[in-house]
Chains A and B, each alone.
Chain A
Amino acid sequence: MTDWIDIGTLADIPQRGARTVQIGGGKEIAVFRTGDDHVFALVNECPHKKGPLSQGIVHGHSVACPLHNWNIALKTGEAQGEDTGCTPTIAVKQEDGRILIARPQMAQAAA
């Protein structure tokens, strides 16, 4: 069973922006809200040089990493275009106006 954690409401995240959340001792998680109000959660690290994706410009369902402008697909965590690499994603859902994310597996979070 997935263990869901309530991290707040849609309004807590700016549209076309992101907030970060720390769960236990795991890696920081970036929670994104797109222009069409979809919510995605990824480990807050670019696959390239670990730039904090939460600080990038969100466009469509992608984010441009603030360090070197790699574009990462929010749904899959995959780098787009010519770049290759993948950021782990975390399951997320919206329920009754709340945003819930799956508790990351400790093995993955510690990896």
Chain B
Amino acid sequence: MEFQVKDENRTEAQADILMPFEDVREHLVVVGNGMAGCRAIEELLARDAGRYRVTIFGAEPYVNYNRIMLSPVLAGEKTFEQIVINDRKWYDDNGIDLIAGDPVTMIDRAAKTVTSQSGRTMGYDKLLIATGSDPFIIPVPGKDLPGVISFRDMKDVDTMLAAADAGGDAVVIGGGLLGLEAAHGLTLRGMKVTVIHLMDTLMERQLDEAAGWLLKSALEARGQTILTGANTEAIYGEGKVEGVRLKDGREIPASLVVMAVGIRPATALARDAGLEVNRGIKVDDHMVTSDPDVLAVGECVEHDGNVYGLVAPLWDMCRSLADGLTGQHSGYKGSVTSTKLKVAGLDVFSAGDFSGGAGCEDIVLRDASRGIYKRVVVKDDRIVGAVLYGDTADGGWYFDLLKRGATIADMRDLLIFGQSYAAGGGALDPKTAVAALSDDAEICGCNGVSKGQVVACIEKGACSLDAVRAGCKASASCGSCTGLVENLLAVVLGDDVQSGPRTMCKCTSFGHDDVRREIVAQGMRSIPEVMHKLHWSTPDGCSSCRPALNYYLLCALPGEYQDDQQSRFVNERMHANIQKDGTYSVVPRMWGGLTNPRELRAIADVVEKFNAPMVKVTGGQRLDIFGIRKEDLPAVWADLNAAGMVSGHAYGKSLRTVKTCVGSEWCRFGTQDSTGLGVRIERMTWGSWMPHKFKIAVSGCPRNCAEATIKDFGVVCVDSGYELHIGGNGGIHVRATDLLCKVATEQEAMDYCAAFTQLYREEARYLERTAPWIERVGVDYVKRRIVEDEAGREALRARFLFSQQFMQDDPWAQRAAGANSDLHQHLDPISIAAE
């Protein structure tokens, strides 16, 4: 996908202008490629796609992105690609000409043309102004010094990231929403941040004093310095910013100053064009300005005396605008706003009027030790305002009651405890809670999606979280409404909902099972592809999800997937077991626990040659050589290879050992050749990567000397054949195996083993041993798949053996031959001679 708009596109747009008669439709020109401008066009397309020819001018050289998601980009939680709302394809598919990076500088209403910075002049039939707002720069000395910036667009984010790379101190002027998000992002990027706020309470427009104080304490605990009641006198520095001086004389050194004291509607263009402008561009209920052919929408407008700086009113305005342009006159009635946000991981919500006043009563809940504060302002038995801190789960419910003007008289005594207690008498589960919301209750604040729209999307066939995200964009941005969307899916679809119970990790809202299913269903082939298509919230995952994704892809694409070494835990990357001092232990494979003089001599030689301080017999019937340095590992492996030994995978989420007793060949009680069977099973299964470690044992008689009934797969030989046991574990929680079935021949024992192993590989979640997996799915399920379904068993076995062709390649031999040598060698510094 391409986001930077290239010059060729401009040429096409210009070519278009030379042939104005080709397209007889009315020409709608949009000034502003931001959230309001593009949303208005989306709404218009949804109503009457072909009605207008559309051209959009944008000041920034990008496609339409979600400006309120710049904070996660700054914080490193999202990439720019992840916050794009409409990519290049959207413009192409809808026949929209995008002229990006070339702002409109003049409107000639008499000639009905606009002129851009580059000198391009274009005629319009209808003009839509969506210029948004400009950051307010306080007029102090030094405000123009290099290193003083605002926080408004992608360029500001790039400047902040560059500054953070150089490290040092940053000052953020303004303790409102934007300022605190900038401060949080810069703190995460390693800068030491001081927030200067003129008022006594942080975010005083959204929070009351008590909640503001809680927020301040929590931010201070996260390492930020917060100065409230602090008045900036000057920004000082020679040639670039060096610090901020306050009116009281204090000086705060800084190499970066972010000014985030507020925004003001960007009205200059409209004012110069002679349109009626007050605080914002004045518009009527259909977003029409004082010129009937010029409309305006978003943060740049003033409607009924109100100017809005939040995203939610913008969605309402765009609906009314599109209705007006397509001849359906609904009319914008103004918006009651709410704010729900996360600052530094802290949940904050406010809505309506919480300043109090005549006839207002406060209902307050404080739980200081849990960091929770809730205040609901009630007037005449109706909610007029709410402030929530720490637990904002009921924000949507209060806001819904507020907007509907619903009476709370009969639940007043329980109101503050939230919806689950106050509505309906008993405690509600989350599904009932979401079911009780009205259709126009907002679910996704980032994209302005109501409950009714989500439900409509689900009813049109979206039956998974991903499908809802693709269909109506709910939960596709910050993800904080994911729980609500999942509950709506459950309410609408009941058992048909496709979702897992728990998410893989904090990087995604998908569960393990969802991710695996989507990998197979969409034919995904790499970790970045999975992260992109499934809306990962981090640029490259974490140490939980990356190894899991690597395994899922490896399992889904045997022989094709290129294993990602950097997504392997250290032991699997180094093919040895890391010890507490950073050295490694090395365990060569001893098939079924058998060894011979040649192997023992080679091990003894390695121990002496590399001064290994300890050798130990393991619980899995083999020898463990301790204290090997990473640099020496390839040489150790070369020596062991030379004696015919391969990796024992004692380090892997993989087949570990096949433990055996001596069986009928020697033992007076032995019923079958357990040692021979163990060796053959190990030859079949070695090298296979698994969701977790996997141990097998074969005992020659029911005395069970090989302890087969606490292994993942255990065989107990009896006179009449082989008992097959599954799901045992000897770890923290000892679990004896379940009996899978009894088979008559050694070949059947091998076949069932292969099929069971593959079922586990394909269906268990990463890091789930067979014991909890079987507890989860039930032993009857495994019996149905392995014992009762002969064709299924055979297919599983075939898939296992197919996969094994690619797995049984000794990783030690590859490394000994020089593969991935950088993992074992130090870098070589050049100017060391000066030492």
Contacts and interface: CB of A to CB of B under 8 A. Distances in A.
B543 A55 contact: no
B578 A15 contact: no
Nearest to A28: B826
Contacts of A69: 543
B829 A57 contact: no
A55 B540 contact: no
Interface string A30-47: 010001101000000000
A59 B538 contact: yes
Contact of A66 (B165, B569, B829): B569
Contacts of A6: 829-831
A83 interface: no
Nearest to A35: B540
Interface string A64-76: 1011010101011
Contact of B826 (A19, A24, A51, A66): A19
Counting chain A CB atoms within 10 Å of each CB, the highest count among B164, B538, B541, B566 belongs to B566
Contacts of B538: 59-60
B822 A19 contact: yes
Nearest to A99: B827
B822 A56 contact: no
Contacts of B543: 56-57, 59, 64, 69, 71
A35 B570 contact: no
Interface in B56-85: 76
Nearest to A57: B543
Nearest to B631: A20
Contacts of A35: 539-540
A31 B239 CA distance: 34
B582 A52 contact: yes
B831 A12 contact: no
B720 interface: no
Interface string B250-261: 000000000000
A55 B578 contact: yes
Interface string B170-203: 0000000000000000000110000000000000
Contacts of B542: 57, 59-60, 64
B376 to A, nearest CB: 32
Contacts of A75: 164, 167, 189-190
A108 interface: no
A57 B540 CA distance: 11
Interface string B526-557: 00000000000011111100110000000000
A36 B570 contact: no
A76 B580 CA distance: 24
B19 interface: no
A29 to B, nearest CB: 9
Interface string B561-572: 000011111100
Contact of B540 (A4, A13, A23, A59): A59
A20 B825 CA distance: 8
Contacts, number: 105
Contacts of A28: 826
B829 A5 contact: yes
A8 interface: yes
A58 interface: yes
B508 to A, nearest CB: 13
Interface string B149-172: 000000000000000110100000
Interface in B397-413: none
B834 interface: yes
A23 B829 contact: yes
Given A16-B540, A49-B580, A59-B540, A5 B828 contact: no
Contacts of A17: 565-566
A95 interface: no
A20 B827 contact: yes
A57 B827 contact: no
Contacts of A13: 822, 827
A95 to B, nearest CB: 13
A75 B186 CA distance: 12
Counting chain A CB atoms within 10 Å of each CB, the highest count among B164, B165, B190, B580 belongs to B190
Given A3-B834, A19-B827, A66 B566 contact: no
A31 B566 CA distance: 15
Nearest to A16: B566
Contacts of A23: 829, 832, 835
A85 interface: no
Counting chain B CB atoms within 10 Å of each CB, the highest count among A17, A57, A69, A75 belongs to A57
B582 A51 contact: yes
Contacts of A20: 826-827
Interface in B203-255: none
Contacts of B29: none
Nearest to B192: A76
Nearest to A36: B539
Given A20-B827, A21-B827, A66-B570, A59 B546 contact: yes
A37 B825 CA distance: 21
A36 B540 CA distance: 9
B104 to A, nearest CB: 34
Nearest to B630: A55
Nearest to A78: B190
Counting chain B CB atoms within 10 Å of each CB, the highest count among A3, A49, A66, A67 belongs to A66
Given A5-B832, A6-B829, A60-B539, A14 B566 contact: yes
Contact of B566 (A3, A15, A24): A15
A56 B568 CA distance: 9
B574 interface: yes
Contacts of B830: 5-8
B573 interface: yes
Given A3-B834, A5-B830, A21-B829, A58 B566 contact: yes
Contacts of A64: 542-543
Nearest to A6: B830
A8 B828 CA distance: 7
A52 B547 CA distance: 19
Contacts of B825: 19
Contacts of A8: 827-828, 830
A93 to B, nearest CB: 10
A19 B828 CA distance: 10
A14 B823 CA distance: 9
A22 interface: yes
Contacts of B827: 7-8, 12-13, 19-21, 31
Counting chain A CB atoms within 10 Å of each CB, the highest count among B165, B189, B543, B822 belongs to B543
A10 to B, nearest CB: 12
6 contacts: A12-B822, A60-B76, A64-B542, A67-B578, A69-B543, A75-B189
The 7 closest A-B pairs by CB, nearest first: A64-B543, A75-B190, A66-B570, A16-B566, A57-B543, A6-B830, A35-B540
Interface of A: 3-8, 12-17, 19-24, 28, 31, 35-36, 38, 49-52, 55-61, 64, 66-67, 69, 71, 73, 75-76
Given A55-B630, A69-B543, 18 more contacts: A5-B830, A7-B827, A7-B829, A7-B830, A8-B830, A13-B827, A16-B540, A17-B565, A19-B827, A21-B829, A22-B826, A24-B832, A35-B540, A51-B578, A55-B570, A64-B542, A67-B580, A75-B164
